[in-house]
Homo-oligomer: A and B are copies of this chain.
Amino acid sequence: MSPARFLPILEWSRSYNAATFTSDLNAAVIVTIMLIPQSLAYAMLAGLPPEIGLYASILPLVAYALFGTSRTLAVGPVAVVSLMTLTAAGRVAEPGSQAFIEAAIALATLSGGILLIMGLLRLGFIANLLSHPVISGFISASGILIALGQLKGVVGYTEAGPVNLPTLAIGIPALAFLFWVRKGLKPLLMKAGLPNRLAELIARAGPIMAVAASTAAVVAFDLDAAGVRTVGAVPQALPPLGLPGFDAAIWQTLLIPALLISTIGFVESVSVAQTLAARRRQRIQPDQELIGLGAANLASAVSGAYPVTGGFARSVVNFDAGAETPAAGAFTAVGISLAALFLTPFLARLPVATLAATIIVAVLTLVDLKAPLRVWRYSRSDFSAMAATIALTLLVSVEAGVTAGVVLSLALFLWRASRPHVAVVGQVPGTEHYRNVLRHQVITHPNILTLRIDDSLTYLNTRWVEEFLIEELAEHPEVRHVILMCSAVNAIDASALESLEAINQRLADGGLQLHLTEVKGPVMDRLQDTHFLQALSGRVFLSQHQAVEALRGH
Contacts and interface: CB of A to CB of B under 8 A. Distances in A.
B495 A460 contact: no
Given A454-B490, A459-B131, A502-B275, A378 B497 contact: yes
B278 A493 contact: no
Given A382-B493, A421-B490, A278 B506 contact: yes
Contact of A488 (B286, B488, B491): B488
Contact of A460 (B129, B283, B459, B466): B129
A379 interface: yes
Nearest to A454: B490
B379 A494 contact: yes
Nearest to A409: B459
Contacts of A275: 502, 506
A201 B464 CA distance: 38
A463 interface: yes
B470 A132 contact: no
A173 to B, nearest CB: 38
Contacts of A531: 374
Given A128-B463, A458-B413, A459-B409, A506 B279 contact: yes
Contact of A494 (B283, B375, B460, B494): B375
A510 interface: yes
Nearest to A526: B378
Interface string A466-477: 110010001000
Contact of A529 (B133, B377, B490): B377
A465 to B, nearest CB: 11
Contacts of A133: 494-495
A499 B129 CA distance: 15
A460 to B, nearest CB: 5
A379 B530 CA distance: 11
A281 interface: yes
A509 interface: yes
A257 B490 CA distance: 36
A543 interface: no
B509 A278 contact: yes
A495 B125 contact: no
A518 interface: no
Nearest to A522: B421
Contacts of A459: 128, 130-132, 409, 413
B132 A494 contact: yes
B510 A460 contact: no
A132 B495 contact: yes
Contacts of A530: 378
15 contacts: A125-B464, A129-B460, A130-B459, A131-B459, A132-B494, A132-B495, A132-B498, A132-B499, A274-B466, A275-B502, A286-B467, A378-B526, A378-B529, A413-B417, A454-B490
Given A130-B459, A383-B494, 4 more contacts: A129-B414, A278-B506, A374-B531, A454-B488
